[in-house]
Structure 1
C-alpha cells in the first residue's frame, strides 16, 4: 500500500485547474466518502481496508513492473495536487470487483483490462460518465477509435490510459535490404516477399504456435482486414457464427501462409512445436533460421532485453504494420488497452480522471516505456525508436478492435486457440473444426 501524503488546501485548487484544462463544464459535487468494509467480509482481498482520510482509492490488476510504472504516474498527480492515492492490486480483478460492488465498497476508480467489463458495469449503473466528471475535451487528446473503446451505449465512461498494438510484423532491415525489398503495405506484397525468400533458400516466417494465442492473433488481424471491424465485433461478441463463410475464408488465407511448410521454420510441425519467445529467437536470436515474426509491440522489448541484447533498434530489428488485405477495410488496429473508470463523483476523482486523460500523465507513461494512446504524448519521452513507432500506430488508429480471444467468455478463448492449432495441423479440416467450435460457442453464448 502506498503511504498517503497530507492533503493541503491547495490540492482542491490544483484539481480545479486540472479540470479547467480538460474543459470542465460542471461544478464539482461535494466529495463522497466511500463505504467502509462490511463486518462479514467475503475475502480479505475483495473488501480491502477503508481508505485513509483524504486519499483517493484506485484498483487494478497491475503488479510488478506495470505497478511500478503506474506508481510513477500517480506520483506525478500527487506532486501536482498534494492528493494521496491508495493503490491496490487485485490479480483476480473481476471477482474482486464483483464482490466489492455487491458489498457497496467499490474503489473510487478502477483500471479495467477489458472493454466488455466496462460496458457491463455501465449498463448496471455503477459508473460515472466523463461529462458528469467535467471532462469534455477527450477528442483533443484521443482519436475516435479510443473514444469508441471507452463508450457504452453512446456515453463516454472510460479513459484509455495505456495500450499495445498487436498489428506489428517484425523483420530484420538488413535482411530486407539484402533481398532488395521494402516493407509491404498489402497482403500480396507480403506473400511476394515470402516467395522471394524461399527462392533465395531462406525461410520467411517463424511462428510461435505452441502458444496457441499467437495463432488467434494471426487470425484476428486477417479477419478484421477481410470481413471488417463490424463483423469482427459480431463474431467475438457472439452474434455471428464461427462457421460463417467470412471466418472460413480468413482461416484459409491464414493457413495458406503459415500452414505451408516452405514458408515457416520447421514446417507446420515447427509452428506447433515453437513457443512464443522461442519464435522470436528463431528470427532475432544468435542462431536465427527465419526472417520475419508476427506478434505484438511487446516483441521488441523481449527481443532486445532477453533474446539478443546485442540488437540495435531499427538497424537490426524493426516492424511494419500488418498489411492491408481488402482496401475497403483498411488496416484496423488489433491490440489491448486499459480503461480508467470512476465509480463515485468527488473532487479527487475528477482531478485524477482529468489527469489520466492529460498529456502530463501520458508523458510519464511514455518515459516508463508504456505506450499511451494519447495523441499529444511527447514521443521523445519513449526509451527507444521502436516504442515511438508503436505509439504513433496506436495513437493514430482509425479503427481499433480488442484482442478477440480475450473477449470470448468462459474457456472459449483457450478452445479457440486449440481450434487454430488444429487448422495448422490439418488445413483441409477447417470446416469440421469450425463447425465443432461453433457448437461450443452456441452453448457458451446461449444462442
Structure 2
C-alpha cells in the first residue's frame, strides 16, 4: 500500500529556468563539513548514498554531493530508492549491505532503524554543526532516545494558505492576522460572488493537515506531542476544541465551495487559480506552488500568493511540516564527513540556489533563494516559534495514512457532518487504539 508521502508531490516550488550553479571551492575546515578548498583528505574513498529523490530533485542533490567530492576528493555514488524507501532500505540493512548514508522522509523510519541498531550516532563535529545551525525542534526531531542520528537536510512547510490576489482585490479582502480575521475575509470573498474557500477531500490527507494546524494552535506543542504518540486519547478535551473550531468553518456552506467530498486536492487548487476562479482560497503546503504552475495559468508570486496559517487565540508563529533527514549507516570517516557537510549551510545553499528546495537550516542566507515566494516559505519554516512534524506521518499507517480508513476516513465523515464532535472523537480513539496496539 502506498504511504501518504507518495501521494504528496515532492517538489516544493516549481520554478522555470533554474539557475546554473558554479561549483567553486571555498576556504574552510579540513574534513568536508565546514567547506574546504579542493582537498584530497578522502581521496580514494567511495561512498554510497541513497534517497527517494529522482528526476530534477536527484540532479540537484547530485550537485550538492559534487561539491563535497570537490572539497574532499571522495567519490560519491547516488542511488534513488524511489518512493518505497522504507522497504528498500530495510532490505539493504537486513542483507548487510546498507548505503553509507541515506536520506529518509519520516522520523518513524529513523526510530525503527535506530532501534534495530542500524544507525550510527553522529560524531561530535556533526553534532556541533547541527546544534549551531538548527532550531531545537529540528535538533530534537533527529534524536532517538536522546541520541542524535538525523540531520534534517530538506524541509517542507505545510502551514501555508494560498489565495488568488485578483479575487481578493476584487472582493476587497485582505490578508488576515488571525483565525477570526481569516473567517471574516473568507466571508468578504464569498459576498463578492466567489466562494471563500475550496477544499478537496476525496482522500482524507488534506483534512488531517487542517486538523494538525488547528490543533497545534489551540492545544499547543506539548499536547500535540502527546497526541502524536497516543499518550493522550482522542477523546481528550483538546481534540474537542480543535474539531469544534474546524467544524464551524467546514460546516459554513456560505464560505466553502460545495462538492468537497468528490473533489481532489488538485481540483481544489484549480478551483482557486483556474480561469475563471470558483473560489478565492485553498489551504495546503508549500507544494501547492507546483500544482499552480503545472495546472493553471496563474503565476506564483503575482496573482498566486500565500500567507501563514492564521494564529488562533494568540498562538505564536507555528509550522506543521515535513522533511528529509540524512542518517549514517556505516561507521567510517567518509560517511561522518558527509554528515557534517550536509548539516552545514554551505551544502543546503547549493540546492537553495537551484530552486525547488526549502532548507530547515536557520543559518542559510534566505537571500540565496531564487524568488520571493520560496524565500518567504523558508523564512516561515526557520523562523517559526514552534515546528512540529506532520502528525499523521508520525502515526501508524493504519491510522494516519490509509485511504478509506482511520483518521482519513473519519475526518471525511466529520467534514460531512461537523456537528458530531463527540462521535468523531470516539471513532478516532477507537481507530488509534487499534493502530497503536
**What TM-score do you get using the length of structure 1 for normalisation?**
0.83
User: CA contact under 8 A between 1:108 and 1:342: conserved in structure 2?
Assistant: yes
Aligned match for 1:154, one of 134, 146, 169? 146
User: CA contact under 8 A between 1:207 and 1:258: conserved in structure 2?
Assistant: no
Q: Tell me which moved more, 431-440 or 359-368.
A: 431-440
Deviations 1:65-91 (A, max 9, x none): 332222221122222222111222223
Do structure 1's residue 426 and structure 2's residue 417 form an aligned pair? yes
Query: Which structure 2 residues correspond to residues 322-337 of structure 1 after superposition, within 5 A?
Result: 322-327=309-314, 329-337=315-323
Residues in 1 aligned to 2:251 and 2:53: alpha-carbon distance in whole angstroms: 36
Aligned to 1:18: 32
Residues in 1 aligned to 2:181 and 2:410: alpha-carbon distance in whole angstroms: 28
Q: Tell me which moved more, 178-187 or 209-218.
A: 178-187
Residues in 2 aligned to 1:154 and 1:177: alpha-carbon distance in whole angstroms: 50
User: CA contact under 8 A between 1:159 and 1:353: conserved in structure 2?
Assistant: yes
Query: Which structure 2 residues correspond to residues 35-434 of structure 1 after superposition, within 5 A?
Result: 54-90=45-81, 91-132=83-124, 134-266=126-258, 270-304=259-293, 306-309=294-297, 311-327=298-314, 329-366=315-352, 367-413=354-400, 414=402, 415-434=406-425
Residues in 2 aligned to 1:423 and 1:294: alpha-carbon distance in whole angstroms: 18
Residues in 1 aligned to 2:170 and 2:276: alpha-carbon distance in whole angstroms: 18
Name the SS of the counterpart of 1:211 in structure 2. Answer: coil
Residues in 2 aligned to 1:260 and 1:307: alpha-carbon distance in whole angstroms: 28
User: CA contact under 8 A between 1:238 and 1:445: conserved in structure 2?
Assistant: yes
CA shift, 1:134, in A, is 4.7
Rg larger for: 1
Residues in 1 aligned to 2:66 and 2:72: alpha-carbon distance in whole angstroms: 10
Residues in 1 aligned to 2:430 and 2:350: alpha-carbon distance in whole angstroms: 46
CA shift, 1:177, in A, is 3.4
Deviations 1:350-371 (A, max 9, x none): 2211211112211112123211
Aligned to 2:20: none
Residues in 2 aligned to 1:243 and 1:338: alpha-carbon distance in whole angstroms: 32
Q: Kindly report the root-mean-square deviation, in angstroms, between the aligned alpha carbons of the 2 structures.
A: 2.4
Q: 1:19 to 1:278 in 2, by over 3 A?
A: closer
Which blocks of at least 5 consecutive residues in structure 1 are unaligned? 1-10, 23-29, 32-52
**What TM-score do you get using the length of structure 2 for normalisation?**
0.85
Residues in 2 aligned to 1:94 and 1:107: alpha-carbon distance in whole angstroms: 13
